[in-house]
A = this chain, B = another copy of it.
Amino acid sequence: MATEAKRVTDIGPPHFEKFLHPIIKENYGQWKFHDSLGPGLLSHTGPNGTIYSVRMSSPRLVSSNFLRMVCDLAEKYCDGYFRFTSRNNVEFLLANKDNIDPLVKEINEHGQLVGGTDNSISNIVHTQGWVHCHSSATDASGLVKVVMDELSDYFTEQKLPHKLRIAVACCLNMCGAVHASDIAILGLHRTPPRVDSDTLPNLCEIPTTVASCPNNAIRPTSVEGKTTVKVDEEKCMYCGNCFTVCPAMPLADPLNDGVSIWVGGKISNARTEPMFTKLAIPYLPNNPPRWPEVTDAVKNIVELYAANARPFERVGEWINRIGWERFFDMTGIEFTKYHLDDFRHAGTTYRRSLHNRY
């Protein structure tokens, strides 16, 4: 492809209007209601007709071949119109209800799944992992695959009390929704950065590096006459912020890097205000390729939620209703000192009342 034309910049994205299905254009801003037609199937109705959506899974990390398959299906059933969701599923947009079944069938033939709507587990929001990021304490795509293998029924069926949203992030930067998910899987380092004092003076600015540490664990020092930094290992909580600004302070440590499990966050304002995800399991080992400890832990929580929560109760709402003590009892997860907050506003998490279940 020749690119000899005049170089243009700052053109921004194309206007979306040309990507909108005619039925969508005609009902734009005037939709009346939607209906759920089954797992992965929605219809939205406005004064000028109904549009059908078929939601298909996606590993998000995809190849041209995957996207071509999407285009092919869209052309065959949807006049070429489709979209992606905020959780990286594909939504085919159909004018004709009769096209739903053949489309679903063909999607399945491609080894893809239809689902993720309503009271189901939708796609896992995730990050780069060992596939692309220098910071990662675990892989992301692989974790998503093994966890969703265990939970795919909950994607293709709507058998949960309510929506359940899972996120994976591969380090504490949390490029995703880990801090506000029903269940989150977070990769973490557990040992302080190793300072490479040979390269550090050239690669990093000392004041920026020192300032990067949330816990004041980094101090300037001098090694063989060169100014570098040293880490107070007692104070380091392995957050990796120093590594972000200074490449000479890597944290990766195959023996100790691993995964933590978090529960009970939510984003929507429905019923309760948004809630942060809370620590459930401080550490599970990195055990690729299938991380059995992680999949077991997540499945255990999902199944207890499925069996015990009330209709339209999110994971965090369920736990708040039964109490954290019962959550730890039911899941068999050990409550340790690591669960007790010790950061900035730790005091606000202490139980300052008599409200307790015995």
Contacts and interface: CB of A to CB of B under 8 A. Distances in A.
A274 B345 contact: no
Interface in A326-358: 345, 347-348, 352-355
B348 A269 contact: no
Nearest to A269: B354
Nearest to A274: B353
Across the A-B interface, the 9 shortest Cβ-Cβ residue pairs? A273-B353, A269-B354, A345-B345, A274-B353, A269-B353, A273-B355, A348-B348, A345-B348, A269-B355
Contacts of A273: 352-353, 355
Interface in A14-73: none
A267 to B, nearest CB: 10
6 contacts: A269-B354, A273-B352, A273-B355, A345-B345, A345-B348, A348-B348
Contacts of A352: 273-274
Interface of A: 269, 273-274, 345, 347-348, 352-355
A195 to B, nearest CB: 32
A166 to B, nearest CB: 22
A347 B344 CA distance: 11
Given A269-B354, A345-B345, A348-B348, 4 more contacts: A269-B353, A269-B355, A273-B353, A273-B355
A353 B270 CA distance: 10
Contacts of A355: 269, 273
Contacts of A348: 345, 348
Contacts of A353: 269, 273-274
Contacts of A274: 352-353
A352 B352 CA distance: 22
A336 B312 CA distance: 39
Residue from the set A347, A352, A353 with the largest chain B CB neighbour count within 10 Å: A353
A274 B347 CA distance: 15
Contacts of A354: 269
A353 B274 CA distance: 6
Nearest to A276: B352
Contacts of A347: 345
Nearest to A344: B345
Nearest to A354: B269
A348 B349 CA distance: 11
Nearest to A353: B273
Nearest to A271: B355
A269 B347 CA distance: 19
A352 B274 CA distance: 8
A161 B355 CA distance: 23
A179 to B, nearest CB: 12
A354 B273 CA distance: 8
A29 to B, nearest CB: 20
Nearest to A347: B345
A345 to B, nearest CB: 5
A354 B274 CA distance: 9
